[in-house]
Amino acid sequence: MTGLPSPHAAAAMLLAFAMFYGFVRGKVAVEIVSLLTIGAIALGLYFFPLPSGTARDGLVLAFEGFGHHALVTICALMIMGRGLVVTGALDPAARALNRIWLFNRQGGLLVTLLAAFGFSMIINDTPVLVLLLPILVQLATKGGMPASKTLIPVNSAILIGGMATTIGTSTNLLVVSIATDLGMPPISVFHYTPIVLAASLVALPYIWLVMPRLLPDNSVVDGRDPRPFHATLRFSAGSASIGKAVGQLRAMLPVSIVLAGDSERLVDTDTRLALCGPQEALEEAAQLTGGALAPVWLLTRLQRESARLRDDLMMVEMAITPDSRLIGNTLQTAGIEDVAILGVHHARRLLGETRIDSADAPMGEGDLLLALGTQNALQGFAQDAGLLIVEGGRDMPRSSKAALALTIMIGAVALASFGLMPIAISALGGAVLMFLTGCVKFERVGRALSAKVIVLVASSIALGKFVLVSGAAAWLGDLLAAGLQYLPPAGILAAIMLFVTALTNFASNATAAAVGTPIAYSLAQSLGLPPEPLVLAVLFGCNLCYATPVAYQTNMMIMSEGNYNFGDYVRTGVPLVVLMVVTLSILLALRYGM
């Protein structure tokens, strides 16, 4: 019979419960709860060391999470994801998905879920999320569902897909390797895939139709209509729109864009088309048509100047003040040289004066200019022309480096996916290349990283190690083994899966695999059952990490982007865990005739 846990094991379980309670309660910030957990481990093991360790060993255990390869991997992948965003490398994929989402939101989400599931069967879960995360965030700003309603469902689809093959996650490989070392025949890559595919048919409707309804809309809405800017669309000789009719271009544009011109007129290099719409819609119109919102020669010069000065181009809104020299001038007569004016918002329309339908009309007090240039050039232009910068500015994508950033990401993913290099090494190498090639500016790396995620990862690693070395995991395993003999086969499989799932969601996948696999193998021998279904129950349980943000690194990566709290994971993840445990247990029992 299992005795009482040791004092350190009891402390580890109590601390794990306290951490979970703090997260669920939500009264204290996640960062504070994480830091308090690390502090409790450090101080506790310093004054009360483990029987086989010293006070210094306790400090190492508490703080090693900050240098752990998992945290390095997460940060490196965030940096590479930032590189894809700032270079615009994912814009074509985002536009393709955006067309599906705009046609039908539910259909767009289903296509995204199926793509995430399929990719994660052969590619490690984390790179798949890194590739999809910035696309989903962009889609949320362009008419798709809010990111807070899509990221957890897509992450769940990725995790289920990663469960389906032995190469889907490193945890799967760990379970299979331990089981083989214990004497079980090797498991091939797609050996148990049909079981997971059958279970996914049960889980997918919940992920697709129910999960988004359980999640909050955390998007920021200011309640104002976007300002309409008048602009002029120009075309160079290499534009894809040359030879097309204006009516064809009109059909390609976002619904918020108004395009003037005869529908039968054919576009050539001398064509100038007047259009009006919000800032983002104007940018999308230029991308879709291959046109430019400013003279091509000027945009080319600004890009060269930006590259020479190593200073990103920025887009800002500027207001014309009463003493501005631009009042009464048009864009052609104002003598603007060092910046490009992409559009004009005429304030007089709001004051009830004469309607103005052209960017070429004279400018007046209160008008807004959409300006593009380097930071120094924009500030100089504002001072010279008597303008007030009313928007802080937005960095423009470094499109010349888009192909390079995408190549770096694909290379890092491929090296890890084919087992040529650990994901930690390939991701770190990719992040370094992003810096060296200028895809990501080192001084702006803080925008890619989340302090909340960093301390959360570090604290979960420390707690997982404490649960293992204190003997808490072994004590829980012995307790489980003592009661399983009274359950039917499907109940035994479900109990093993739930036990490992609990370890996964509150400690780590590696801890769950290392503790659960030997227990499952020995249980099979003592109960006279085939070991393979019990080992697969462990493997599945290691992947049922939906219920907490600390369960898996992808859970933590979406936390800041979706603005989630701990309760969001519990509310959506616990029903999915129950659904998968019941389904997989029954399927395993049927498959192995238990």
Summarised one tens digit per residue, pLDDT across range 184-218 is: 887 777 788 899 999 999 999 999 999 999 988 87
Choose among 514, 504, 517: nearest CA to 555. 504
pLDDT tens digits, one per residue of 55-92: 788 888 888 777 776 677 767 777 777 777 677 776 67
Q: Which pLDDT band holds residue 300 (cuts at 50, 70, 90)?
A: confident
Q: Which pLDDT band holds residue 351 (cuts at 50, 70, 90)?
A: very low
End-to-end Cα, the chain, rounded Å: 27
Choose among 496, 548, 560: nearest CA to 522. 496
Choose among 198, 199, 206, 195: nearest CA to 110. 206
**CB within 8 Å of 430: residues ≥ 6 apart:** 76, 80, 408, 409, 411, 412
Tokens linked to 445? 């790396």
pLDDT of residue 507: 60
Residue 325, number of CB atoms within 10 A of its CB = 13
440 close to 32: Cβ distance less than 8 angstroms:
no
Residue 523, number of CB atoms within 10 A of its CB = 21
Pairing of strands 229-234, 272-277: antiparallel
What are the start-end ranges of the H helices in 367-508? 375-385, 402-417, 423-436, 451-469, 472-484, 489-506
Tell me the C-alpha distance between 233 and 5, whole Å: 73
112 close to 132: Cβ distance less than 8 angstroms:
yes
Q: If you compute the radius of gyration of the chain from its CA atoms, what whole number of angstroms results?
A: 28
Tell me the C-alpha distance between 291 and 287, whole Å: 7
| Strand stretches in 278-324, DSSP E | 313-320
Tell me the C-alpha distance between 152 and 215, whole Å: 9
pLDDT of residue 467: 72
Helix (H) or strand (E) holding 338: none
pLDDT tens digits, one per residue of 110-143: 988 998 898 788 666 776 787 677 678 767 766 5
Record the pTM.
Answer: 0.58
